Amino acid sequence: MARRLFIAGNWKMNLGPAQAAGLALELKAALASNTALDVAVAPVAVSIPAVVAKLKHSGLHVAGQDLHAEASGAFTGAVPGEHLREAGCTYVIVGHSERRQLFGDDDALVAKKVKAAFRAGLLPILCVGETLSQRQAGQLEAVLDQQLSVAMGGLAADQAAAVTLAYEPVWAIGTGHNATPEQAQEAHAYIRGWLRGHFPAFVADQLRIQYGGSVKASNAGALLTQPDVDGALVGGASLKAADFLGIIEAGLAARRASRS
């Protein structure tokens, strides 16, 4: 079953409102006639309104980078999904490895945040992936099992199908060492198999799995033509229009070539 390509840019803690708006405008201009794929960008929270304003009627989506599990209350500094939705986001990244490693988001909290995203009317982009030491210890599948079962276990099938999963091996993030296309496909196929074992078949058929970790124009084609790689979650190379657009063009071109 054909799943529509979904490429998202995670701008992480970069680009304040003015710079973010500038990049959004460049992407909007370049992707004005795009109908071939879904594109989202995830600015820092304070830059979201400026980006939403620039991307109006563009078909490009805006995502939060994180959300609090509660809808409101005494949680100084936190941003709830309801506010992201009101500000114009349609997606929210949940469980990014930087949240897990630097901010203490554990599987139980990630599960709450996935539910909070749906409560707020947002679609979660749920990140999973192993560290280098876990991979070297042969724990890839066990780590994915644990992360998926806690974060997705309580979801109804229609919600599960609406999740985007991002397989982001921690050792590939920001290192320049992307997973090989074969390593990505192997992990993605494992994830899809896990979905088949835990949900009705349509969930595994529909759910899109992005690969993330040192994606750039030069490796995007080979990654995005793997049968179970449905998109990319791009960090560093999403911060410049030319780099991000290069990934999109390389991915589309390689997919066209692989089908002809």
Site residues (vs ligand 13P, CB under 6 A): 10, 96, 168, 173-174, 212-215, 233-237
Closest-approach residue to ligand 13P (CB): 235
Given the complex with ligand 13P, which of 80 and 213 has the nearer CB atom? 213
CA–CA separation, 240 and 216 (whole Å):
11
Residue 134, class by beta-carbon neighbours within 10 Å (0-12 exposed, 13-18 middle, 19+ buried)?
Answer: middle
Which of 82, 98, 130, 168 is flagged as catalytic? 168
Which of 83, 96, 130, 188 is flagged as catalytic? 96
Closest CB 14 distance from ligand 13P, rounded Å: 10
Q: 61 an active-site residue?
A: no
CA–CA separation, 63 and 58 (whole Å):
14
Closest CB 66 distance from ligand 13P, rounded Å: 11
Q: 96 an active-site residue?
A: yes
Given the complex with ligand 13P, which of 64 and 82 has the nearer CB atom? 64
Dmax (CA) for the chain in angstroms is: 56
Closest CB 71 distance from ligand 13P, rounded Å: 25
CA–CA separation, 10 and 12 (whole Å):
5
Given the complex with ligand 13P, which of 52 and 179 has the nearer CB atom? 179
CA–CA separation, 117 and 123 (whole Å):
6
Closest CA to 99 of 70, 141, 139, 128: 128
Amino acid at 109: L
Given the complex with ligand 13P, which of 198 and 217 has the nearer CB atom? 217
Given the complex with ligand 13P, which of 96 and 113 has the nearer CB atom? 96
Contacts of 97 (CB under 8 A, 6+ apart): 127, 129, 168, 170, 173
Contacts of 201 (CB under 8 A, 6+ apart): none
Closest CB 260 distance from ligand 13P, rounded Å: 29
Residues annotated as part of the active site: 96, 168
